[in-house]
Structure 1
Amino acid sequence: MSDFSQIRLMRNAFGKLAFTGADGVVHDNVVPVRAFPIAAPEEGIAIVSADGHELLWIDALNALPEAVRALLKEELANREFLPEILRIKNVSAFASPSTWQVETSRGDATLVLRGEEDIRRIGDVSLMIADTHGVQFFIRDLKKLDKHSRKLLDRFL
């Protein structure tokens, strides 16, 4: 486990992240990047400079001091837009393309599914669904969907 006591992460005057490494060098406009945002969102985070160079690798978020961890989580949440489908309300047709009315973690949404190939399995219980606008929707656990949602989704799997 690395020693993160010499590392500082804070927002600069423009609201962007600034990183100060153990060497004391300040890097403005850094970006946190998850290596595995779906499979292991709490592990494998890189702090990347404005010119794309990795400044720091973090094996696990829980290894960081609380203030740094909270700031990183806040920044990652602002950068990542991955609404989670909580319920499928309606599907216009069981042939593609079809329009889906869904309830997500970010509110109600409408997505248009071009074809079954736009539904990808992630592990045993998760799915990624891409709509015609390129927005990725996530179903974390198929088993946790209500019966009506599973019945509608089963027609496409």
Structure 2
Amino acid sequence: MTTHDFTLSRNAFGKLVFTAANGDRFEGVVPVRAFPIGAPDDGIALVNADGQELAWIMRLSDLADDTRAMVEQELASREFMPEIQRIQRVSNYNAPCTWFVETNRGDASFTLKGEEDIRRIASTSLLIADNHGVQFLIRDTQALDKGSRKILDRFL
């Protein structure tokens, strides 16, 4: 199904409603990114409550403005992945330890249980999971300031 074969709306409860070209309606539709870090605006599936794909969106920019806004709003409400912009300090260099960081959502601190909770997802990108399962993203380790890179290097 192409991106032009459906319409999206919201029901009285604020849930996304997908209406196919043939009139079939599905409530509680969820957008899912195929490549949330590498290409967040490309490859988005709209799936029903059972996880069945209803439509594939090649690029968010292909959608009409109102439809794109609904998809982006739904994605933003479901995704929480603060991006680390600076590592201020760590409590010590042995795990478990507490990291104090600046993110795109403000200052934060979290506990790193072990070095295995730091995963490389691309040559310069990392995902760091805290002890509560929150994922912190470092999009580009080379873009971090010298002090942040020095701290990070102690854990890699």
Q: TM-score, normalised by structure 1?
A: 0.93
Of 54-63 and 80-89, the range deviating more from structure 2: 54-63
Identify unmatched segments of 5+ residues in structure 2: none
TM superposition shift of 1:154: 1.1
2:13 matched residue in structure 1: 14
In structure 2, what is the Cα distance between the partners aligned to 1:48 and 1:41? 17
C-alpha change, 1:3 and 1:119, in structure 2 (3 Å) is: closer
Deviations 1:57-107 (A, max 9, x none): 112212211211121011101101111111111101111111101111222
Identify unmatched segments of 5+ residues in structure 1: none
TM superposition shift of 1:44: 1.3
C-alpha change, 1:11 and 1:155, in structure 2 (3 Å) is: same
CA RMSD of aligned residues (A): 1.5
2:76 matched residue in structure 1: 77
Checking the alignment, whether the CA contact within 8 Å between 2:2 and 2:55 is kept in structure 1 is: no
1:122 matched residue in structure 2: 121
In structure 1, what is the Cα distance between the partners aligned to 2:50 and 2:8? 18
Checking the alignment, whether the CA contact within 8 Å between 2:91 and 2:98 is kept in structure 1 is: yes
2:36 matched residue in structure 1: 37
- Which amino acid is the alignment partner of residue 78 of structure 1? S
**Percent identity (aligned):** 61
TM superposition shift of 1:22: 1.2
> 1:37 aligns to what SS in structure 2?
coil
In structure 2, what is the Cα distance between the partners aligned to 1:31 and 1:3? 15
- Which amino acid is the alignment partner of residue 11 of structure 1? R
In structure 2, what is the Cα distance between the partners aligned to 1:70 and 1:12? 16
Structure 1 segments of 4 or more deviating over 4 A?
none
TM superposition shift of 1:3: 5.4
Q: TM-score, normalised by structure 2?
A: 0.94
- Which amino acid is the alignment partner of residue 155 of structure 1? R
TM superposition shift of 1:125: 1.1
1:152 matched residue in structure 2: 151
1:131 matched residue in structure 2: 130
1:2 matched residue in structure 2: 2
1:54 aligns with 2:72: no
In structure 2, what is the Cα distance between the partners aligned to 1:118 and 1:52? 28
